[in-house]
Structure 1
Amino acid sequence: MKNKNKQINKQFLMLMLAGTIGAGSLWGCSSQQATEDIAAVTATTEDEAGVQIKQESFGKTKEGEETTLYTLTNAKGMQMQITDYGATITSLLTPDREGEVGDVVLGFDSLSGYMSPEYVKSGPYFGAIVGRYGNRIADGKFTLNGQEYTLATNDGENHLHGGVKGFDKVVWEAEPLPGQNAVRFKYVSPDGEEGYPGTLTSIVTYTLTDDNEIKIDYEATTDKATPVNLTNHSYLNLAAGEAEDALGHIVTLNADKYTVVDETLIPTGELRDVKGTVMDFTTPQAIGARVNQVEGGGYDHNYVLTDTSEKLKKAATVYEPTTGRVMEVFTTEPGIQFYSGNFLDGTITGSGGETYRKHYGFALETQHFPNSPNQPKFPSTILEPGETYETTTIYKFSTRDEE
């Protein structure tokens, strides 16, 4: 659906960039809503470098914990909003080829959206950090150093994205970083949480650069050997309301193999060549060109990057022809999960009043491979005491002239 709020958005843009109105008010709000949003602002920090990060209330959890929304804006007017609930990206405003800004991630204007029964039931993890282990672990079990561990099962018989109450459902400690357009989030997961061994301390830092990059740095330490696989679970739609779904996005993945899965989406251990199959995105392909040929109703597969080293390399490029927006993904991880929004079912209405239907958004989650603790031939996800887990992912946004 074409975004009917574009003209209203444009009127509020300058006020927002000045730090007066949050993006929750910008998108399709009434004047009364805007007034309420202004009243909700709690602080705007400005350091010696002139970096301003706005902080405002985002609502209370069901347990009564206060949450905060952080707004980062760069020199080019790109804006990112993140909340300490799940260290979640809630909004990302980027320009199209005409200079019109639009929100390119799926999310909500307030915490209540993430607390709604429809959202909790469907569990899409919009924009959140998922952990302690992003993606699936078969049967919710793994053996480490001779001991079997049983995890919470929340995806049929399997464990998914950290369990029933993973990192996406907790309030992280947050700290704006002096001299940087960045916010650091910290969460300490106690020994035994969701069945995992060891006390794990995780730090995730989001930085918005003046090159229109979202840089995500992950760190973690533990006092006992444990699996770790952190990732951000943002759903993107670069059309920002200008298209009915994301199927027209053109995707290129720098991956010549993928991990074959069984009927429950657990990798079998086989790494299969993509060449000549519907899984092949080594050359640019529309998401919708072959999506109906994919077993299970769409893409939900881990791609093995051609370069599996720990250096920063390009993993993916996405182009949206309607608006000209381009997103490039760089990562130090060996894999990337491509998900075409197969389980969105139209029961959730998000920011700007958009209904999130099947294939409305897609995700590109940088990661180690699913079920690695049970697949010894996969790159290891075990973090040992004395070691530091460190990975980096960058989402870079630009535009392309109409072709």
Structure 2
Amino acid sequence: MTPDENREIFATTPEGDVVEIVTLQNGPATARVMTWGATLQDFRLDGIEHSLVLGSPVFEPYRTRMRNYGAIVGRAANRIAGGRAPLNGTTLQLETNEEGRTALHGGSDGCGYINWQLAEASATSARFAVTLADGQGGHPGNLALTATYSLDAEGALTLEITGTTDAPTFCNIAHHSYWNLDGTPTLDGHTLQVDADSYLAVDAHKIPQNGPAPLAGTRFDFRQPRAITMATDAPGLDHNFCLRDPGTVMRPACTLRAAGLQLEIDTTEPGLQVYDGSGLNSEAPGHTGKPYGPHAGVAIEPQHWPDAPNHPDYPQITLNPGQTYRQVSRFHVTRI
């Protein structure tokens, strides 16, 4: 497949944006990535009939109930309490796009909800680019982002995200695919193991209140493989795990298993947000031909910790002119 052959027009938005999809293939894997949100729209392994990520065969749902499915979200992924955050001696008031209470994923026009440019594509990789304007969602600075997806000969999907700014700003980017390895309506057949010994406990609004807490003895202890979904009276899972050996070097983050398949995720990021999909309701049919409901997929999001600007002891997300933000994450599905 030549570079021109693996590009197609997926849709045209009411505003006139042309949404393209590029199909990447290498080894046993095929990935389809669209320019809207630099979104992983479909990911398949040879011999497996279903997509391993939740998504839609048509574009319209990505503007409504499937806004975060596979998107790259930011410029400040996850939540900031009250939309208020200190930056260089001032307090920013960001858009509170989650029930008028918290700033979520960079606001209603964050990078997951706009059209990127397909800057470069080959048979096995594609680079997307977008610039978030000064003032977007209340954030200062023009933030230029790139996202490069590439498939290697093993079929592993690597995502490299970079960012530069012309004024101090926040930059915490996250890939937001929902994974389902067995193609069934729920995650009941899945187990998860996370390479973390601590997590951030949250309040009723999913805002962390303190520093890292030990996982031992909690519902969130995934140091050994265990089921994601639990009894209905168990606390929901939408929490940040504080990964071991923080730094800028790629290291294991988690392993998801179901139906003879396993997904291994490695990342440079200090945190891993895991959401069990309890609130999912796509309304529109997905890749399965039916709408996705609660627990249809699990979001596993390498990123920095939520509400970091309001917690000086957390890894910080400030990006200054002259610096380059860089995140690398690798998603590898194999048979076991």
Moved over 3 A (4+): 290-294
1:308 aligned residue:
246
- Indicate the residue corresponding to 2:54 in structure 1: 106
Q: 1:174 aligns with which of 118, 132, 147?
A: 118
* Alpha-carbon separation, structure 1, partners of 2:42 and 2:121: 20
- SS of residue matched to 1:186: strand
Match of 1:292, SS state, is coil
1:172 to partner: Cα distance = 0.6
Q: For 1:363, which of 285, 293, 299 is the aligned residue?
A: 299
1:255 aligns with 2:199: no
Q: CA deviation at 1:282?
A: 0.2
In our comparison, the structure showing a higher alpha carbon Rg is 1
Q: Which has the higher helix share?
A: 1
Structure 2's unaligned 5+ residue stretches are: none
Measure, in 1, the Cα distance between the counterparts of 2:309 and 2:231.
30
2:19 to 50, 67, 71: 67
Superposed counterparts of 1:350-389, under 5 Å = 350-389=286-325
2:142 to 199, 207, 211: 199
* Root-mean-square deviation over aligned CA pairs: 1.6
The answer to whether structure 1 residue 336 and structure 2 residue 272 are counterparts is yes
2:66–2:282 Cα contact (<8 Å) kept: no
Displacement of 1:177 in angstroms is 4.1
Q: Is the 8 A contact 1:346 1:355 kept in 2?
A: yes
Counterpart of 2:177 (choices 211, 234, 245) is 234
- State how many pairs are aligned: 335
- Percent identical pairs in the alignment equals 34
Distance 2:55 2:97 in 1: 22
Q: 1:163 to 1:346 in 2, by over 3 A?
A: closer
Contact 1:346 1:358 (C-alpha < 8 Å) held by counterparts:
no
Using the size of structure 1 for normalisation, the TM-score is 0.80
Alignment of 1:4-403 (within 5 A): 44-45=2-3, 54-76=6-28, 78-95=29-46, 99-115=47-63, 120=64, 122=65, 124-156=67-99, 157-177=101-121, 181-240=124-183, 243-288=184-229, 290=230, 292-295=232-235, 298-320=236-258, 322=259, 324-345=260-281, 347-400=283-336
Q: Given residue 90 of structure 1, which amino acid in structure 2 is its aligned partner?
A: Q
How far, CA to CA, are the matches of 2:283 and 2:116 in structure 1? Answer: 28
| Matching residue's letter, 1:80 | A
- Output one character per residue of 1:213-266: Cα deviation in whole Å (capped at 9) or x when no partner: 1100010001111111001100010012xx231122011000110011111001
CA distance in 2, matches of 1:62, 1:346: 21
2:271–2:302 Cα contact (<8 Å) kept: yes
How much has 1:352 moved relative to structure 2? 3.2
- Cα distance, 1:100 vs. partner? 3.3
How far did residue 123 of structure 1 move? 5.5
Structure 1 alignment gaps of length 5 or more: 1-18, 20-43, 47-52
